[in-house]
Chains A and B, each alone.
Chain A
Amino acid sequence: MNQKLKIMVVDDEAIVGKRLKPSLESSGYTVETFGDGRSAIARLSKERFDIVITDVRMDDVDGMQILEYVRANIPQTKVIIITGYASVDLARRALDKGAFDFIAKPFKPGDLRTVIEKAARAPSA
């Protein structure tokens, strides 16, 4: 890891961002958090992120829409989907659409860190 990875966390549950930001920053990542999909996409159009971690179910613009946006516009950015319910169907759909991986709630920061590290090592699509 030559340079700091830039990570975006999107979840309409405010506590998720509030806890993940210091936790991931302590692991050496640069982290920005957003509480809704719309402002996250607005930010993505301006700034390049290495990894986007997004909750799948949100009002208005949801995780799948963020995934679609990223795949269409910034394909080198990897997307990790957070799901509230580990439905096989949803996971398959997310992976079909090009998500790097998914993680089911509830998870520990360590679980997420493992997935992030895996994503960091993986070659860009």
Chain B
Amino acid sequence: MTDDSGHTMNKAPDRPRESMCVYAPMDAAERKSATAGRHTGIQQRACFPVRLRLILAFAAIFVYCAGVTLWTIYVLPAVHHKIRFLELADAYRHETAQMRRFEKNYFLYGTHLRDALLHTQKARSILSDNEADILKVMSRGRLTAMQKSLASYAAGLQKLAGGHSPEVRAEVQHRLRKYGHRLTADADAFSIQERRALDRTFSLLRTGPLILLAVLMIILFAAAWHINRKIVTALGRLTDFTERIAAGDYTRITFKKTRRDEFTQLATAMNQMIDEIEKRQEILVQSHKIRAIGNLVAGVAHELNNPLNNILLTAVSLQENYADLPPAEALEMLADIVGETERSREIVRNLLDFARQREREIKRLDLGEMLGRAIRLVSSQARMSKIRIETCIPDNLPPVHSDRQLLIQLFVNLLLNAVDALSQNAHGRIAVTVDAPTQAEYVAVSITDNGPGIPRRLQDRIFDPFFTTKPEGRGTGLGLSVSRNIIEQLGGFMRVESEVGKGATFTVYLPVTRVPH
């Protein structure tokens, strides 16, 4: 059956084996409640949406920029005051210097006393006219002290102007020198001090923006990193997840975040979508089962006609010859009627057992028995098409865990598929073999037909929903897709090997239940 020279093609998605060791998949109800639990759990978590994060990040940047602007607005007038003060200080220094120069001239040559007085007056008016500006930089006490010194100096000069004795002159000269010296020293000190302060402010204005720019860069990087982490990582996870769904893995998204945001909403919506897909899948499995039943009914009806015919013929014979029949023969006829009725009951019961809608129930099943039931279900179909079904099912197969009807449906699907493939074949043969190597994790059930085979280019597509090679109206193209879906539900996988003209082998790998000793 397996063509050793042929290529073995693995059409099952290459998933790691470990991930498939799901021995007892959660049943629907259990899974539903688990999902519901997760959903409510996430809803109770604090909500911190990405929108809010973005708003906060941008608000932080805005506040920072606004702070920087305000600081500039605050600093610039101060600089302006300082510059104004420096101008005043320079003018004042100039006046005091002139005043001292003319004072010296007076004492040396007796001239220019009026000029000295004039400049003193100018210096005083600088102080008094710009009092407001000066006070922005200098304390009032100091200004008053300066004004006092200037006033005393002016009073000295006035005294000289109003006639004097040499003693008075010497005394006034001494006083003028003292105040004059103090005045120029004050003016110089001031000027230097304020110039230094201004230099400091200017250097701060030069380096300040660089520091602020660096801080802004750090803030921007932090915001970008945070947003990247939240959005890009979340999107990456969701992308992986959608790829997994496409591959048929319907595990729900688990919520890793401690707070809710738009992505948790998306994930919740996707989980609901999976619930919906699973529901649809279940409906698909069910509706395909109904189709399979429809196929089987034709065979069963035919199968049923044989015992019915036997009963009718026997009953009529009994009726017609009632008076003449020896009791032994009559009894034999009655035994035939009973036997054939029981045979009819078996045929009907087998189909009804398969057709009945039941809650999914995962339990330990005898694989050989399930295969036997599936083969019996399709046997009349096969006989109608003169297809011989050969079985090679060893005893003592390891038990598998599954839903009984689901497992039978899986085998019926694959057997009906083989029967369909052999419909044009004069000597159709289906071989059912089970390979259960000890210690292996999977038991392999192979269904081989000697039909036309599947061209290699189609082998990738045969498991796709709605793909069919049958003429329109004959197949739905869902048989193999539903079968694969069932196998994945049971934690197994399926492979196909086929070559054109050499038939096809579908092998189902089902996880074995290991009983710990």
Contact = CB atoms under 8 A, between A and B. Distances in A.
Contacts of A13: 306, 309-310
Nearest to B332: A18
Interface in A85-125: 85, 104-110
Interface in A7-40: 13, 15-16, 18-20, 22-23, 26
A110 B316 CA distance: 9
A75 interface: no
Contacts of B321: 22, 26
A71 interface: no
A84 B305 contact: yes
A20 B313 CA distance: 8
A9 B218 CA distance: 100
A6 interface: no
A50 interface: no
B294 to A, nearest CB: 15
B349 to A, nearest CB: 19
B186 interface: no
Nearest to A85: B302
Interface residues of A, number: 21
B386 A16 contact: no
A16 B317 CA distance: 11
Most buried by A among B298, B314, B317, B383: B317
A109 B321 CA distance: 12
B308 A15 contact: no
B305 to A, nearest CB: 4
B499 interface: no
B273 interface: no
B324 to A, nearest CB: 10
Contacts of A26: 321
Interface in B310-334: 310-314, 316-317, 320-321
B308 A23 contact: no
B311 A106 contact: yes
B336 interface: yes
B310 A16 contact: yes
B346 to A, nearest CB: 15
A15 B301 contact: no
A74 B343 CA distance: 37
For the complex of A and B, the 8 pairs showing the least CB-CB separation, nearest first, are: A106-B309, A105-B309, A15-B310, A19-B313, A85-B302, A105-B305, A106-B308, A106-B312
Interface of B: 298, 301-303, 305-306, 308-314, 316-317, 320-321, 336, 340, 383-384, 386, 388
